[in-house]
Amino acid sequence: MNINKNYFDLKESYLFAKVSQKIREYKAQNPNNEIISLGVGDVTIPLAPKIVAAMSKAVLEMGAADTFHGYGDYEGYLFLRQAVCGYYAGKGVRLSDDEVFISDGAKSDLGNILDIFSEDNTVLIPDPVYPVYVDTNIMAGRRIEYMDGNLENCFLPMPNAGTKANIIYLCSPNNPTGAVYNKEQLSQWVKYALENDAVILFDGAYEAFIQDGGLPSSIYQIDGAKKCAVEFCSLSKTAGFTGTRCGYTVVPRELERGGASLNKLWLRRQSTKFNGVPYIVQRGAEAVFTGEGLSQIKRDIAYYLENARIIADALTELGIWFAGGRNSPYIWLKCPDNMLSWEFFDFLLERANVAGTPGSGFGSNGEGFFRLTAFGSCENISEAMRRFKTALD
Amino acid sequence: MNINKNYFDLKESYLFAKVSQKIREYKAQNPNNEIISLGVGDVTIPLAPKIVAAMSKAVLEMGAADTFHGYGDYEGYLFLRQAVCGYYAGKGVRLSDDEVFISDGAKSDLGNILDIFSEDNTVLIPDPVYPVYVDTNIMAGRRIEYMDGNLENCFLPMPNAGTKANIIYLCSPNNPTGAVYNKEQLSQWVKYALENDAVILFDGAYEAFIQDGGLPSSIYQIDGAKKCAVEFCSLSKTAGFTGTRCGYTVVPRELERGGASLNKLWLRRQSTKFNGVPYIVQRGAEAVFTGEGLSQIKRDIAYYLENARIIADALTELGIWFAGGRNSPYIWLKCPDNMLSWEFFDFLLERANVAGTPGSGFGSNGEGFFRLTAFGSCENISEAMRRFKTALD
Q: Which of A16, A59, A123, A132 to mutate to test the interface with B (most CBs of B within 10 A)?
A: A59
pLDDT band at A185 (very low <50, low <70, confident <90, very high): very high
Contact A269 B112 (CB under 8 A): no
A-to-B residue pairs, Cβ atoms closer than 8 angstroms: 232
Within 8 A of A60 by CB-CB distance, chain B residues are 52, 56
For the cut 80, the answer to whether the pLDDT of residue A270 exceeds it is yes
Q: Which residues of A240-272 are buried (b: 16+ CB within 10 A; e: fewer)?
A: bbbbbbbbbbbbbeebebeebbbbebbbbbbbb
Q: Tell me the mean pLDDT per 10 residues along chain B, length 393.
A: 92 81 94 92 95 98 97 96 98 98 96 95 95 94 96 96 93 97 98 97 98 97 98 98 98 96 96 95 98 98 98 97 96 97 97 96 96 96 96 89
> What residues of A are in contact with residue B136 (Cβ under 8 Å)?
272-273
Distances (CA, A) of A309 to A154, A176, A326, B243: 19, 17, 7, 42
Residue-level pLDDT at B161: 85
Cross-chain residue pair A258–B3, CB shorter than 8 Å: yes
- Nearest by CB to residue B279, choosing from A70, A243, A273, is A243
Chain B nearest-CA distance from A136, in A, is: 7
- The pTM (predicted TM-score) of the whole model is 0.96
The answer to whether B272 contacts A3, with C-beta atoms less than 8 Å apart, is no
Task: Nearest by CB to B199, from A1, A5, A167: name it.
Answer: A1
Crossing angle of helices A262-273 and B131-139, rounded to 10°? 130
- Return the residue of A nearest to B141 by Cα: A118
Chain B CB contacts of A63 below 8 Å: 46-49, 51-52
- Residue A278 and residue B245: Cβ atoms within 8 Å? yes
Q: Do A64 and B42 touch (CB under 8 A)?
A: no
| Residues 6 or more apart whose Cβ sits within 8 Å of residue B187 | B222, B223
**Of A328, A333, A298, A293, which Cα lies nearest the Cα of A314?**
A333
Supply the pLDDT for residue A69: 97
Q: What is the pLDDT of residue A41?
A: 85
Q: How confident is the model at residue A16 (pLDDT cuts 50, 70, 90)?
A: confident
* Chain B environment of A111 (Cβ under 8 Å): 272-274
> CA of B132 to nearest chain A CA: how many angstroms apart?
6
B261: nearest CA partner in chain A: A3
Calpha distance A146→A165 (Å, rounded): 10
Work out the minimum CA distance from A127 to partner chain B, whole angstroms: 18
Q: For residue A140, give the nearest of A18, A7, A45, A244 by alpha carbon.
A: A7
List pLDDT tens digits, range A332-356: 999 999 999 999 999 999 999 999 9
Asked if the Cβ–Cβ distance from B198 to A2 is below 8 Å, we say no
- Please count the CA atoms within 13 angstroms of the CA of A347 that sit on its side-chain side: 18
What local confidence, expressed as pLDDT, does residue B351 receive?
96
Evaluate whether A165 touches A30 at the Cβ level (below 8 Å). Answer: no
Residue A234's pLDDT is what? 97
CB contact under 8 A, A265 and B105: no
Candidates B151, B158, B154; CA nearest to B186 is B158
Of the candidates B8, B59, B272, the beta carbon closest to that of A55 is on B59
Residues from chain B that touch A119, judged by Cβ atoms under 8 A, are: 4
To the nearest whole Å, the CA of A133 is away from the closest chain B CA by 9
| Contact check, Cβ <8 Å, A273/B111 | yes
Residues of B in contact with A16 (CB under 8 A): none
Lowest mean pLDDT among A22-26, A226-230, B177-181: A22-26
CB-CB neighbors (< 8 A) of B245 in chain A: 275-278
Q: Which one of B3, B135, B136 would you mutate to disrupt binding with A, by most A Cβ within 10 Å of its Cβ?
A: B3
d(CA A185, CA B2): 26
Is the separation of the CB atoms in A286 and A50 below 8 Å?
no
Q: For residue A357, what are the contacts with CB-CB under 8 A and spacing of at least 6? A: A15, A16, A19, A39, A176, A345, A370, A371, A372, A373
The shortest C-alpha distance from B319 to chain A (Å) reads 34
Residue in chain B nearest A123 by alpha carbon: B1
What's the gap in Å between the CA of B315 and the closest CA on chain A? 28
Q: Quick one: closest CA in A to B266, which residue? A: A7
